């Protein structure tokens, strides 16, 4: 089965991890510090990133750092993985779903603005498929609401909008380094933020809420072993093995980005002009790192095409089931039909194989199967 996504690991990646295994630090060591600095630089922010154990952990940390809690509302898109919503719900927030822009699948700024209330604490957009959100418009909505703009950039590390890198577009940005993402640490994620206080809260939350710095202790004279926990947190620390792999992967991120664009261009060329297909939207000024190739088939035969491709040994996926369709949210009273554009997108979408080591011949085979299926 040709996978729809997979990691790209080379000898240098393996050597980087082996170096850690031969050293003194497996966790909380220098490789983590280096990786956090590199991610901060890639994101174009002043301070190093806060590295964590997953993209889900990054969202949990980011919402906690934004001081989301009971009584707050978080506006987000339903066309995303569960964690964009559930990480805020775990902190007691009410999740408010707003519809998408049909071309990109990203959160529509006008739809988000229509959902703002006095309780809105965060507006969370998702860079669907790797295409950056309309950050200028969403930033205005968030600023007018007195809320944070959070960019869930799980799909888009290394991308940019109007020359501004992903990581510098929103108040808070989260990344994922899952194996199928644009670079991997095995499992992992990171948070970057423009505000130093937000970043400090993120550091504390991912470190079990502990502090050791003398100026943050209530009892600073107890001894060098002393630590305090002024607030709750969780152990979301990335280890040095993962960080070393991430640093090695970063040396090839531009290569990965170029290859993903080449694959996207090849799909676009091969599938152009077929009446019942809608190809991924790409807005002017956006420089995506294409994590997905989200094809849409508009004649009602998405299930048939999905099953046909799987039967031909082509791994495909659907991204994503609208989050409020999940039983947890349905039991809270969320109804189907709330976000019709997102639901229509879901009912048409199928993600084709997309990863840097994918061969042109495999892309051509996928294209030919789809063209034949469509009678093109």
Residue 151: what pLDDT? 98
Using the CB atoms, write b or e for 129-152: b if 16+ within 10 Å.
Answer: bbbbbbbebbbebbeebebbbbbb
Three-state SS sequence of the chain = CECCCCCCCCHHHHHHHHHHHCCCCCECCHHHHHHHHHHHHHHCCCCCCEEECCHHHHHHHHHHHCCCCCCCEEEECCCCCCHHHHHHHCCCCEEEECCECCCCCCECHHHHHHCCCCCEEEEEEECHHHCCCCHHHHHHHHHHHCCEEEEECCCCCCCEECCEECCCCCCEEEEECCCCCCCCCCCCEEEEECCHHHHHHHHHHHECCCECCHHHCCCCCCCCCCCECCCCCCECCCEHHHHHHHHHHHCCHHHHHHHHHHHHHHHHHHHCCCCCEECCCCCCCEECCCCCEEEEECCCCHHHHHHHHHHCCECCECCCCCHHHCHHHHHCCCCCCCCHHHHHHHHHEEEECCCCCCCHHHHHHHHHHHHHHHCC
Q: Which CATH number fits domain 253-374: 3.40.50.300, 3.40.640.10, 3.90.1150.10, 1.10.1040.10?
A: 3.90.1150.10
Long-range (24+ apart) CB contacts under 8 A made by 332-336 are 334/97
pLDDT tens per residue across all 376 residues of the chain: 999 999 999 999 999 999 999 999 999 999 999 999 999 999 999 999 999 999 999 999 999 999 999 999 999 999 999 999 999 999 999 999 999 999 999 999 999 999 999 999 999 999 999 999 999 999 999 999 999 999 999 999 999 999 999 999 999 999 999 999 999 999 999 999 999 999 999 999 999 999 999 889 999 989 899 999 999 999 999 999 999 999 999 999 999 999 999 999 999 999 999 999 999 999 999 999 999 999 999 999 999 999 999 999 999 999 999 999 999 999 999 999 999 999 999 999 999 999 999 999 999 999 999 999 999 8
Range(s) within the chain of domains with CATH label 3.90.1150.10:
253-374
Residue 376: what pLDDT? 87
The conformational region for residue 327 under phi > 0 = left, psi -120 to 50 = alpha, else beta, is alpha
Q: Rounded to an integer, what distance in angstroms lies between the CA atom of residue 83 and that of residue 85?
A: 5
Model confidence, pTM: 0.97
Q: Rounded to an integer, what distance in angstroms lies between the CA atom of residue 58 and that of residue 219?
A: 31
Angle at the Cα of 137 (from 136 to 140), degrees rounded to 5? Answer: 90
85 phi/psi in degrees, rounded to 5: -95, -45
Residue 39: what pLDDT? 98
Instruction: Just give the CATH number of 11-249.
Output: 3.40.640.10
Residue 53: what pLDDT? 98
Range(s) within the chain of domains with CATH label 3.40.640.10:
11-249
């Amino acid at each position: 089965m040709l996978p729809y996504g997979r990691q790209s690991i080379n000898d240098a990646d393996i050597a980087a991890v082996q170096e850690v295994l031969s050293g003194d630090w497996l966790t909380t060591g220098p490789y983590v510090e280096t990786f956090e600095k590199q991610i901060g630089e890639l994101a174009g922010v002043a301070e190093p990133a806060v590295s964590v154990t997953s993209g889900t952990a990054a969202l949990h940390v980011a919402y906690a750092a934004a001081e989301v809690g009971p009584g707050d509302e978080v506006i987000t898109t339903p066309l995303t993985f569960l964690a964009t919503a559930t990480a805020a719900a775990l902190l007691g927030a009410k999740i408010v779903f707003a519809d998408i822009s049909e071309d990109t699948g990203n959160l529509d700024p006008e739809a988000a603005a229509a959902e703002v209330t006095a309780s809105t604490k965060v507006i969370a957009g998702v860079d669907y498929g790797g295409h950056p959100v309309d950050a200028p418009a969403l930033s205005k909505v968030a600023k007018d609401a007195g809320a944070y703009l959070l960019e869930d950039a799980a799909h888009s590390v290394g991308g940019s909008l109007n020359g501004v890198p992903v990581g510098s577009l929103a108040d808070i940005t989260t990344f994922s380094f899952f194996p199928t993402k644009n670079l991997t640490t095995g499992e992992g994620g990171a948070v970057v933020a423009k505000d130093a206080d937000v970043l400090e809260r993120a550091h504390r939350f991912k470190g079990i809420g502990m502090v050791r710095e003398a100026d943050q202790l209530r009892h600073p004279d107890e001894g060098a072993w002393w630590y305090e926990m002024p607030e709750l947190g969780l152990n979301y620390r990335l280890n040095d093995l993962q960080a070393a792999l991430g640093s090695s992967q970063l040396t090839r991120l531009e290569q990965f980005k170029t290859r993903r664009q080449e694959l996207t261009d090849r799909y676009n060329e091969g599938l152009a002009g077929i009446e019942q297909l809608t190809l991924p939207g790409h807005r002017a000024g956006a420089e995506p790192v294409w994590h997905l190739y989200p094809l849409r088939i508009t004649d009602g035969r998405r299930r048939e095409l999905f099953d046909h491709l799987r039967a031909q040994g082509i791994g495909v996926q659907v991204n994503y089931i609208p989050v409020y369709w999940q039983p947890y949210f349905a039991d809270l009273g969320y109804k189907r039909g709330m976000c019709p554009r997102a639901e229509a997108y879901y009912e048409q979408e199928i993600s084709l194989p997309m990863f840097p080591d994918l061969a042109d011949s495999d892309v051509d085979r996928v294209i030919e199967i789809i063209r034949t299926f469509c009678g093109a």
